[in-house]
Amino acid sequence: MDRLTPTAVAAVPPAVARQRNAILVTLLALAAAGWIVFLNQARQPMGMHAAMGPDLTMGRSWPLFLAMWVAMMVAMMFPAAVPMVLMYGRMKRNDPSSIALFTGSYIALWFAFGVVAYLLSAMVESAASGSEWVAMNWGRAGGVLLVLAGVYQLTPLKDICLRHCRTPLSFVMTRWRDGRGGAVRMGLAHGLFCMGCCWLLFLILIPLGVMNVAAMVAVALVVFAEKAEPHGRGIGLLAAVAMIGYGVAVAGHPSLLPTVA
């Protein structure tokens, strides 16, 4: 069935449970694979830090950095995306390719975000290697970024984006598009709302360290709680307070950042 109707929403044919389980197992298996790849890379030797500046790309070339970024996004975002993909899959239960396109376009948007993250990291490294002032003060900028990420958690835009992520049925019913092209458009739309929720949470991984396992786990838990837990918004607010407090401390004492040599 391609058109979304109230009857389609209410109907629960026997095949739905089997497809739901297949989607769930696939997403969680991909997430587990992402964690395995990330943890394996995190144990690999890093590139040497610059004498007076950061090594925010962790010594990785841009292809390897982006490959690791995709693994990170799959590991961190697929568990939180499960309700949305399951809802879309229920409406497209006879069209597995559209489900794959929806999910693939969602992760492709995060890949594009990874390109931006790499360019920002490389720019900071380059600026620090060419300027003693930047090398001495980039850590303070990291503290400011942490504060901004915490403040963003409190904004109306964050609430709007999070509301869409927490209500899969509402998103599917109000933004439905037919066909495989529609699957891509819906996947991108969901990705944009998801990015609106989490973009600064992922940008703070630059000063915290892209291969920092503890930071990645913390961000992943916040993202999952915000999107899937009943009291997720409250957890997000607690995370905001923690980021603001830590950011203020880092701005005063940059050595508190794990990426400061």
Q: What is the mean pLDDT of residues 140-160?
A: 94
Percent of the chain at pLDDT > 90 equals 31
- CA geometry: angle 55, 59, 65, nearest 5 deg: 105
Higher pLDDT, 261 or 207: 207
Max Cα–Cα distance, the chain, nearest Å: 66
143, 251 in Cβ contact below 8 A? yes
In this prediction the pTM is: 0.80
* Predicted local distance difference test score (pLDDT) of residue 135: 74
> What digits encode the pLDDT tens for the residues 77-86?
888 888 899 8
DSSP 50: P
Rg (C-alpha) for the chain, rounded Å, is 20
Of 210, 204, 244, 191, the closest CA to residue 80 belongs to 191
On average, the pLDDT of the chain sits at 84
Higher pLDDT, 10 or 118: 118
41, 68 in Cβ contact below 8 A? yes
Helix (H) or strand (E) holding 260: none
- DSSP code per residue over 180-223: HHHHHHHHHHHHHHHHHHHHHHHHTHHHH-TT-HHHHHHHHHHH
